Chains A and B, each alone.
Chain A
């Protein structure tokens, strides 16, 4: 009585031609936003001769590197239907602590950097721990952490930037690997690392499960609390690294750094096609979102447009991109 299974694309190309096909799928999934990014680049190249230069492109990439790191982490949070509002504040704490340990305590560079990153990781862990243990909404727990960590950064620095003139430290943010600025290298490593984590590991699949259907995940024996803690700890780590690097670039630990960074990271994640409903999203998409925001800022700068307009433009781009996405989904139905 069982009907024969009909399968249109069993053994389809994807599994024979791995790399090529994943590139194809990547383009197909992100077609809309990629066209947007590309047309923006073309228009800017025409309008401003300074845009399509190696120098400017590296500049854009370096500028977006911090947002990229934060947005990669934010992608995990949003996939599990969460959010992390504390990324900017945690970044500030990590940076100021690293700078402080060098300038005030004379700790060796490696130790100061490690402690800075660990502080960020630990604060992320606390976010995850609170959420997992108490069942507090992500929004509330991280909103509280946003205040606490920002306050801690002010307290630690007395509200004043901590200057460091250690050239080795500064080099972490301003150095180059060949022609490529170091922050770009770090972000590339994180891009690859977080992609692998999300696509190629059990942890990644479980992240999608928790976001896709929490109850079903529980019934599937997935330890939701563990996933939550790991996700927020990962975000904390990424904030820690970004904070230290940013601080090194500025040669000082500034308690005010990173205000509003959480919103840019969220914007990038959304532009990249991650759904607020959970269970859907890719690091590769987030990367495009980051680039869209970066190119937009850079282009408007090059065209000498008042920076206030940049905010308006960013908002409009988000509305447009999400609207296109909604239209696409409606059409599918």
Chain B
């Protein structure tokens, strides 16, 4: 029924890199005005396929048709000429330039040899107006939120009359509310008959926004489904090639004594009188919108940032936390939200990363006991089933999920009593996500107190024993497991209700 308005068709695409068959006969067809999801675990070939489309990689074999005509995409310019715009996960904007300057970068309008700032300004403003977005075009991009910056990228794509916009994990660092805004914009794009290729790990989203889903696995084409005719379970089994029986592992056990007690923690303009308890074996979820102060709270407890007043008590002892070192030594661990920038040493080996915090265990008097180092590494590689060709492999070469597990391993090696996980499954594929949940359960069962900060509500609801909701640096509600629902959390997160707790 759609056959007449297929805008893009990729047929039997093959691409290999030394040692890896990245794409092995992949197909994709895109209909004008549809939102088409590209789904697959990390390493499934989504990025490679997109890079082929963007002209970054050339294909070994296969054909690309645009509007029914066969064409070659040899470089980025070719791709743009064919009306394809790619919005990468790492946004490509110049922070110190204004929105208008960014949109017109490389295609400025001139009048009599000088920049015609006025018409650029008007054109830019019109673009945002047509998307019904409230963004001022004369502010610097650096002052915008990530979500707004994405909108700038979209506007940039519209300026060149793109017919196809590719979004690579656009929601990975957005809050629920911002995701709504993005979806609204995507619907606007649809209304303009623009096709969107939407890459995401978050299955819930696909059902909200996409028309069809194409699943890849290990570089192979698995199939294309009409979104409303499929189910989450079907997509997951297509992605992982097996039935995923238990996605969220949650062990049932009793909690121990209070291990961490935070009282009246305040920091000007960031944290406002935060108090809560964490018990041994408990998973405490922290929910809230971006900017609610969740990460800041974690950073304060861990000693990255100073706080103005309040106390943190660990096992009955008031802690003096001046730097992460003290927090670490007393048994607190923090897996930061930003794996690549804050968590791991990409160029260094798995072994280096895992053992970095426990060097004293095997380096003595200027002598490295390699066997011990290897033992510690092996232990955690096995415990967390980190998939790596060897312990000497640079972590940067592993998949996102295995990178994250390596960062978690680094902290588990210190045998923490309190483990703070900030967005533990961001940018991690479904299989690894489930594994991380089961690791969390295992740790909780062993009596570790876990604080999990997350923007993904399903994760918060399914994994937490209690949830602390924050808004503008304050705790607006503490919900017990029985009372958890997306709606209630969102109400508290947006500051809708004051809580009596």
Q: What residues of chain A have their CB less than 8 Å away from a CB belonging to chain B?
A: 1-12, 14-15, 18, 196-197, 199-202, 205, 208-209, 212-213, 215-216, 218-223, 279-280
Say yes or no: A200 contacts B391, CB within 8 Å.
Answer: no
Question: In the assembled complex, which residues on chain A have CB atoms less than 8 Å from the CB atom of B341?
Answer: 213, 215-216
Say yes or no: A200 contacts B304, CB within 8 Å.
Answer: no
In the complex, whether B378 has a CB less than 8 A from a CB of chain A is yes
Say yes or no: B382 contacts A209, CB within 8 Å.
Answer: no
Residue from A12, A212, A221, A223 in contact with B357 in the complex, judged by beta carbons closer than 8 Å: A221
Say yes or no: A221 contacts B352, CB within 8 Å.
Answer: no
A to B CB contacts below 8 Å, 22 in the list: A1-B244, A1-B245, A6-B387, A8-B389, A9-B392, A10-B390, A15-B370, A196-B366, A200-B363, A200-B366, A201-B363, A201-B366, A202-B359, A205-B356, A205-B359, A208-B345, A208-B352, A212-B345, A213-B341, A213-B344, A216-B343, A279-B348
In the complex, whether B456 has a CB less than 8 A from a CB of chain A is no
Tally B residues with Cβ within 8 Å of A: 50
A18: nearest residue on chain B (CB-CB)?
B370
Residue from B246, B342, B347, B374 in contact with A219 in the complex, judged by beta carbons closer than 8 Å: B342
How many residue pairs bridge A and B at CB < 8 Å? 109
Question: In the assembled complex, which residues on chain A have CB atoms less than 8 Å from the CB atom of B357?
Answer: 220-221
Say yes or no: B348 contacts A212, CB within 8 Å.
Answer: yes
In the complex, whether B360 has a CB less than 8 A from a CB of chain A is yes
Say yes or no: A221 contacts B325, CB within 8 Å.
Answer: yes
Chain B 310-334, CB-CB to A under 8 Å as 1, else 0, gives 0000000000000111011100001
Question: In the assembled complex, which residues on chain B have CB atoms less than 8 Å from the CB atom of A221?
Answer: 323-325, 327-329, 357
Question: In the assembled complex, which residues on chain B have CB atoms less than 8 Å from the CB atom of A197?
Answer: 366
Q: In the docked arrangement, what's the CA distance between A15 and B375, Å?
A: 11
Q: Beyond the given A208-B352, A221-B323, A221-B329, could you list 16 further A-B residue pairs with CB under 8 A, ordered by the A residue number?
A: A5-B382, A5-B386, A7-B381, A8-B389, A9-B389, A15-B371, A202-B360, A202-B363, A205-B356, A208-B348, A212-B346, A215-B338, A216-B342, A221-B328, A221-B357, A223-B323
Q: What residues of chain B have their CB less than 8 Å away from a CB belonging to chain A?
A: 244-246, 302, 304, 323-325, 327-329, 334, 336, 338, 341-348, 352, 356-357, 359-360, 363, 366-368, 370-371, 374, 378, 381-382, 385-392, 410, 431, 434-435, 438
Say yes or no: A218 contacts B324, CB within 8 Å.
Answer: yes
Say yes or no: B356 contacts A3, CB within 8 Å.
Answer: no
Residue with the highest number of chain B CB atoms closer than 10 Å, among A18, A205, A220: A220
Q: In the docked arrangement, what's the CA distance between A216 and B339, Å?
A: 9
A329–chain B nearest beta-carbon distance, Å: 11
A232–chain B nearest beta-carbon distance, Å: 21
Say yes or no: A205 contacts B389, CB within 8 Å.
Answer: no
A2: nearest residue on chain B (CB-CB)?
B385
Question: In the assembled complex, which residues on chain A have CB atoms less than 8 Å from the CB atom of B360?
Answer: 202
Q: In the docked arrangement, what's the CA distance between A205 and B354, Å?
A: 12
**Given the contacts A201-B366, A216-B341, A223-B325, A2 and B435 also touching, CB distance less than 8 Å:** yes
Residue from A3, A7, A14, A199 in contact with B389 in the complex, judged by beta carbons closer than 8 Å: A7
Question: In the assembled complex, which residues on chain A have CB atoms less than 8 Å from the CB atom of B381?
Answer: 5, 7
Question: In the assembled complex, which residues on chain B have CB atoms less than 8 Å from the CB atom of A10?
Answer: 378, 390-391
A331: nearest residue on chain B (CB-CB)?
B18
Q: In the docked arrangement, what's the CA distance between A220 and B411, Å?
A: 9
Closest 9 CB pairs of A and B: A221-B324, A2-B385, A212-B345, A221-B328, A221-B325, A202-B359, A215-B342, A15-B370, A200-B366
Say yes or no: B345 contacts A218, CB within 8 Å.
Answer: no
Say yes or no: A209 contacts B387, CB within 8 Å.
Answer: no
Q: In the docked arrangement, what's the CA distance between A230 and B100, Å?
A: 47
B339: nearest residue on chain A (CB-CB)?
A216
Say yes or no: A15 contacts B345, CB within 8 Å.
Answer: no
A189–chain B nearest beta-carbon distance, Å: 14
Say yes or no: B347 contacts A212, CB within 8 Å.
Answer: yes
A14: nearest residue on chain B (CB-CB)?
B370
Residue with the highest number of chain A CB atoms closer than 10 Å, among B328, B343, B356, B389: B356
**Given the contacts A9-B390, A12-B390, A213-B346, A220 and B363 also touching, CB distance less than 8 Å:** no
Q: In the docked arrangement, what's the CA distance between A199 and B338, Å?
A: 28
Q: In the docked arrangement, what's the CA distance between A223 and B304, Å?
A: 11
B7–chain A nearest beta-carbon distance, Å: 32
Say yes or no: A5 contacts B387, CB within 8 Å.
Answer: yes
Question: In the assembled complex, which residues on chain B have CB atoms less than 8 Å from the CB atom of A14?
Answer: 370
A199: nearest residue on chain B (CB-CB)?
B368
**Given the contacts A196-B366, A223-B323, A7 and B391 also touching, CB distance less than 8 Å:** yes
Question: In the assembled complex, which residues on chain A have CB atoms less than 8 Å from the CB atom of B334?
Answer: 219
B344: nearest residue on chain A (CB-CB)?
A216
B246: nearest residue on chain A (CB-CB)?
A1
Question: In the assembled complex, which residues on chain B have CB atoms less than 8 Å from the CB atom of A200?
Answer: 363, 366-368
Q: In the docked arrangement, what's the CA distance between A101 and B434, Å?
A: 70
A59–chain B nearest beta-carbon distance, Å: 33
Q: In the docked arrangement, what's the CA distance between A200 and B359, Å?
A: 10
Q: In the docked arrangement, what's the CA distance between A279 and B352, Å?
A: 12
Q: In the docked arrangement, what's the CA distance between A220 and B389, Å?
A: 25
B367: nearest residue on chain A (CB-CB)?
A200
Question: In the assembled complex, which residues on chain A have CB atoms less than 8 Å from the CB atom of B344?
Answer: 213, 216
Question: In the assembled complex, which residues on chain A have CB atoms less than 8 Å from the CB atom of B385?
Answer: 2-5
Question: In the assembled complex, which residues on chain B have CB atoms less than 8 Å from the CB atom of A3?
Answer: 385, 387
Q: In the docked arrangement, what's the CA distance between A273 and B378, Å?
A: 30
Question: In the assembled complex, which residues on chain A have CB atoms less than 8 Å from the CB atom of B304?
Answer: 218-219
Say yes or no: A6 contacts B366, CB within 8 Å.
Answer: no
Q: In the docked arrangement, what's the CA distance between A183 and B438, Å?
A: 60
B368: nearest residue on chain A (CB-CB)?
A200
Question: In the assembled complex, which residues on chain B have CB atoms less than 8 Å from the CB atom of A280?
Answer: 347
Question: In the assembled complex, which residues on chain A have CB atoms less than 8 Å from the CB atom of B336?
Answer: 216, 219
B101–chain A nearest beta-carbon distance, Å: 27
Question: In the assembled complex, which residues on chain A have CB atoms less than 8 Å from the CB atom of B391?
Answer: 7, 10
Question: In the assembled complex, which residues on chain A have CB atoms less than 8 Å from the CB atom of B325?
Answer: 221-223
A5–chain B nearest beta-carbon distance, Å: 6
Q: In the docked arrangement, what's the CA distance between A176 and B196, Å?
A: 76
Q: In the docked arrangement, what's the CA distance between A205 and B323, Å?
A: 19
Say yes or no: B324 contacts A279, CB within 8 Å.
Answer: no
Q: In the docked arrangement, what's the CA distance between A11 and B351, Å?
A: 13
B245: nearest residue on chain A (CB-CB)?
A1
B118–chain A nearest beta-carbon distance, Å: 39
B378: nearest residue on chain A (CB-CB)?
A10
Question: In the assembled complex, which residues on chain B have CB atoms less than 8 Å from the CB atom of A215?
Answer: 338, 341-342
Question: In the assembled complex, which residues on chain B have CB atoms less than 8 Å from the CB atom of A11?
Answer: 374
Q: In the docked arrangement, what's the CA distance between A4 and B385, Å?
A: 7
Q: In the docked arrangement, what's the CA distance between A3 and B388, Å?
A: 12
B387–chain A nearest beta-carbon distance, Å: 7
Q: In the docked arrangement, what's the CA distance between A201 and B369, Å?
A: 11
Residue from B324, B352, B382, B431 in contact with A205 in the complex, judged by beta carbons closer than 8 Å: B352
Q: In the docked arrangement, what's the CA distance between A222 and B34, Å?
A: 49
Residue from B327, B345, B382 in contact with A279 in the complex, judged by beta carbons closer than 8 Å: B345
A204–chain B nearest beta-carbon distance, Å: 9
B332: nearest residue on chain A (CB-CB)?
A221
Question: In the assembled complex, which residues on chain A have CB atoms less than 8 Å from the CB atom of B327?
Answer: 221
B183–chain A nearest beta-carbon distance, Å: 32
A277: nearest residue on chain B (CB-CB)?
B347
